[in-house]
Amino acid sequence: MASDDRENSLSCFQDWMNLQAQDLSELLHNLDLHKHTANQNEQNLKQLAEKGIDHFKRYIEERSKLASADISTYYAPSWCSTWEISLLWIAGEDHSAEERLSTRLASLQEDIADQPLALIAKRLREVGEVNGDVEKVFDEFDKDMLEILREADNLRLATLEKVLQILSPLQAVDFLAASKKLHLCVHKWGKIKAEKHKREAL
C-alpha cells in the first residue's frame, strides 16, 4: 500500500511538472504576441494569470489528499534530486520564515522533544520493535507534519495571489513564466547533476 501511495504521489508531481511546462509554453507564446501586437488583449493575459493560480490550487489540493497517506514522502521526495531538495531548503521554499509557520514548527519540535522516545526505545525488547506507544508517536507526528504542509501550501498560494494582484496583467504573466521556468530548470539541473555524479562514481 505504501508503494502505491508513493507511486500516486510521484504521478501527481510528474503531472504537475508536465502542466507547468505546458503553461510555460503558453505564457511565453502570449508574451511574444504582446511584443509584436500593439492591441494584445489584456483580458486574455489576465485570464492566463488566473489559470496559473487555478492550476497551482488544484495541485496543492491533490497533493494534500495524497500526503495524508504518507506525509514523510513530501518532506524528502524521491522524485527530486538531493541537490534540488537542498537548494529549495536553502532558498526557503520548503520552510517559510513566516511567523505563524515558524511558531508551528517550533511547537512541533517541542512536542517531539517531550515525547518519551528514549524511554520507549529503552523498554523495547528488540531494536526497531513497534508497539502502541510508538504508533501513537508516529500518528501524532504525521498529523502535525500534514498540517504544516497544508499551511505552507496555503501561504504560498495566498502570497502568489497577492503578488499577482498588484501586478499588471502583462507583469503577472511575465512573473509566472519566470517562476515556472526557474522551477523546471532547477528540477532538470538536479537530474543532470545526479546523473553526472553517478557516472563519476563508476
Give 41-89 pLDDT, tens digit per residue.
788 899 999 999 999 999 999 999 999 988 988 888 889 998 888 877 6
pLDDT in tens, 137-184: 788 888 888 988 898 899 889 999 999 999 999 999 999 999 999 999
Residue 142 lies in a domain: no
Query: What pTM was estimated for this model as a whole?
Result: 0.81
CA–CA dist 19, 62 (Å, integer): 14
| Residues 37-46 as b or e (16 or more Cβ within 10 Å = b) | eeebeeeebb
The domain total for the chain is 1
State the residue range of the domain holding 85.
2-96+153-201
Of 109, 110, 116, the C-alpha closest to 95 is 109
Q: Angle, to 10 degrees, between the axis of helix 132-166 and the axis of helix 169-201?
A: 140
Residue 192 lies in a domain: yes
